[in-house]
Structure 1
Amino acid sequence: MTAPRFAAALRTEGLAVVEVGDWEDHNRNHVGPWGPVHGVMFHHTVTRGSAHTVSLCRNGYSGLPGPLCHGVITKDGRVHLVGYGRANHAGLGDPDVLRAVIAEKALPVDDEATVDGNRHFYGFECENLGDGEDPWPQAQLDAIERVAAAVCRHHGWNTVSAFRHLDWQPGKVDPLGVDWKAMQKRVDRRLGSGAPGPSTPAPSTPTVSLRRLREAALGDPKRPGTPVSYKGVITVETALGDRGLLDELYVDGHWGTRTTPGYARWQRSEAGGGYRGDDADGIPGRDSLTRLGLKAGFKVVD
């Protein structure tokens, strides 16, 4: 799939998709090939907190640069796209498993680590501590089902092509706590139902009131401290932060003096409408906010 088709396939399956920064061009293609792609792999992150988890999976850490996957499935069921192309998620795995995935047959026990999986698999990290006790909310399990179905549906694969990190690389246990046989049955039912789309309620899409957001943008900077005058502010600030337009320190729910220039940078960007002069004043308008919502997965209301 092309990157836009990848995002479209996920949305068509009823998923709430958040596009993070330059995800379409963020990859590790310069260090090795990407493709042919044969399956989609699921992991757990061993992290807590959606913002931290998404940032880590996008940027990586010392010794393992990002992206660490293509998408992050947070506990609220949203899918945050952080990269497209080669990603550091699968590592070396069993060639017998790769052959079984390609043949769409039952997977053998993985007892070797000699084949480059980063080349051959889509990867999705799921926000979870991975200790066997951290719960898997229904919204998150539903999103895993939909992601697996969306990718398999596009490629014409069966459910065997959606598998776990533990099926690929010896010593791995992730995603720990997910009943994978039950998940495979869910994906089978979804694929067998025919056309993509919700068969169960999709995760609710966050909404942002343009009127209340503008009131906060015009009023909050004059207030002392960081009062959260309207919860939609943090939704927009998070979207700006995901695109490198606002430092994480200022993603606090208060439309302060740093948020206004951050939003102005969004307005001036091509994706934000390419506004210039007084039209890029850092105060949200319907067009620029709607454009941001389409990228970040929220809906604009009056």
Structure 2
Amino acid sequence: MATPLSPAKFRDAIRAGGARVVEVGDWTTHNRNHKGPWGPLHGVMIHHTVTEGTEHSVALCRTGYSSLPGPLCHGVIDKAGTVHLIGYGRANHAGSGDDDVLDDVIAERALSPDNESNTDGNRHFYGFECINLGDNADPWPEAQVEAIARAAAGICRAHGWGAESVIGHSEWQPGKVDPRGPIGKKGGPALTMAKIRARVAQLLDDDPAPAPTAPAPSAPSTSKPKTVDLSKLIAAARRDPAKKGTPVSYAGARVVEDALAAEGLLARKYADGHFGSASVSAYARWQRRCGYSGAAADGIPGRASLDLLARRHGFKVAA
């Protein structure tokens, strides 16, 4: 049992656990507190979104939809392992679940079967929606699985909880299956809450708390890193080719588009070497993620934001 952390302490606990954090809009005051109490808190609940794409998933979880208003969680964990904080307080994520399961979480013991829906979970759990289609085929990147464990461990450490305070939606509410799917690639080992709790337990055993981690480096390559010429990229972005099939003004644009697609900011079908309006819009979202706003986030690449994208995705930038 615990009083909810302050928004700042919640954010800092996740960062102290070693997960990257992005703060979205007015997340600290975006909640459903007018619909009922929030707290005492007893644990952390993990979900999957049944969506794809970072921007779409974050927006949906933040606003919800007509039959289920947002926020639908407190944080969205994307495929790259970044935690997007979208709300804080009561959120529409857990729904009604089993009181026996809640008792087990409080006691930090093995969970009972979830065969009843008689207890308000939105009141008692922090919730994280993790981007995955939930079809039992969409893979969970290892960076995302690690971020789930690190975010949960950071919160558990802040409250003095053990790994048994971390549960899946499938363990709380009858009929739910999340989270599920293969780890790493199609056909890989199945993601289970037992594996997540085991990793949380390892992290909680660390002393002191783990430092924030950088994105996992790519496997060593003997090939020469690709180089993107910033001036040519800017010219391509300003030229804005009208549609697929028109001449590609600068082949290096495809390198940047592939990186934007990997970040979940650009649909794969638009990663075609034409740095058109979809790519410019995606790059503007990348700039905002880097902390820029207004005219500094117009979608025309700049050196600092491109350097950061290059470091994350293994290419070089030439002036």
Q: TM-score range by the shorter chain?
A: 0.7 to 0.9
* Aligned 8 A contact 1:230 1:253 in 2: no
Confirm or deny that 1:38 pairs with 2:50. Answer: no
Q: By how many angstroms is 1:17 displaced?
A: 0.9
User: CA separation of 1:230/1:33 partners in 2, compared to 1, >3 Å: closer, same or farther?
Assistant: farther
Confirm or deny that 1:79 pairs with 2:91. Answer: no
Q: Over residues 132-173 of structure 1, what are the superposed CA-to-partner deviations in whole Å (9 max), with x where a residue is unaligned?
A: 111111111111110110110000001110011111111111
Describe how 1:289-300 pairs up with structure 2 within 5 A: none
Confirm or deny that 1:203 pairs with 2:207. Answer: no
In structure 2, distance between residues paired with 1:162 and 1:152: 8
Q: Over residues 87-123 of structure 1, what are the superposed CA-to-partner deviations in whole Å (9 max), with x where a residue is unaligned?
A: 0000001111112212222221111111110011000
Residue number among 141, 147, 168 corresponding to 2:145 in the alignment: 141
User: CA separation of 1:68/1:231 partners in 2, compared to 1, >3 Å: closer, same or farther?
Assistant: farther
Correspondence for 1:243: none
Correspondence for 1:182: 195
Correspondence for 1:169: 173
* Aligned 8 A contact 1:94 1:112 in 2: yes
Correspondence for 2:104: 100
Amino acid at match of 1:180: M
* Aligned 8 A contact 2:15 2:151 in 1: no
101-110 or 69-78, larger mean C-alpha shift: 101-110
Correspondence for 1:90: 94
User: CA separation of 1:218/1:21 partners in 2, compared to 1, >3 Å: closer, same or farther?
Assistant: farther
User: CA separation of 1:8/1:218 partners in 2, compared to 1, >3 Å: closer, same or farther?
Assistant: farther
Confirm or deny that 1:69 pairs with 2:95. Answer: no
Correspondence for 1:20: 24
Correspondence for 1:109: 113
Q: Over residues 235-255 of structure 1, what are the superposed CA-to-partner deviations in whole Å (9 max), with x where a residue is unaligned?
A: 7xx9xxxxxxxxxxx983327
User: CA separation of 1:225/1:22 partners in 2, compared to 1, >3 Å: closer, same or farther?
Assistant: farther
Correspondence for 2:59: 55
SS across alignment from 2:10: helix
* Aligned 8 A contact 2:32 2:91 in 1: yes
SS across alignment from 1:144: helix
User: CA separation of 1:281/1:102 partners in 2, compared to 1, >3 Å: closer, same or farther?
Assistant: closer
In structure 1, distance between residues paired with 2:118 and 2:73: 20
* Aligned 8 A contact 1:229 1:254 in 2: no
* Aligned 8 A contact 1:27 1:84 in 2: yes
* Aligned 8 A contact 2:77 2:128 in 1: yes
SS across alignment from 1:124: strand
Confirm or deny that 1:252 pairs with 2:278. Answer: yes
Q: How many residue pairs get matched?
A: 268
User: CA separation of 1:8/1:184 partners in 2, compared to 1, >3 Å: closer, same or farther?
Assistant: same
Q: By how many angstroms is 1:22 displaced?
A: 1.3
In structure 2, distance between residues paired with 1:255 and 1:52: 14
* Aligned 8 A contact 1:15 1:203 in 2: no
* Aligned 8 A contact 2:143 2:216 in 1: no
SS across alignment from 2:280: coil
User: CA separation of 1:223/1:75 partners in 2, compared to 1, >3 Å: closer, same or farther?
Assistant: closer
Compute the RMSD of aligned alpha carbons. Answer: 4.0
* Aligned 8 A contact 2:233 2:301 in 1: no
Correspondence for 1:192: 205
Q: By how many angstroms is 1:62 displaced?
A: 2.1
Q: Over residues 31-70 of structure 1, what are the superposed CA-to-partner deviations in whole Å (9 max), with x where a residue is unaligned?
A: 1111111100001111122221111111111200111001
Amino acid at match of 2:280: H
Residue number among 2, 7, 11 corresponding to 2:6 in the alignment: 2
SS across alignment from 1:254: helix
In structure 2, distance between residues paired with 1:190 and 1:251: 43
In structure 1, distance between residues paired with 2:59 and 2:296: 27
Correspondence for 2:313: none
SS across alignment from 1:149: helix
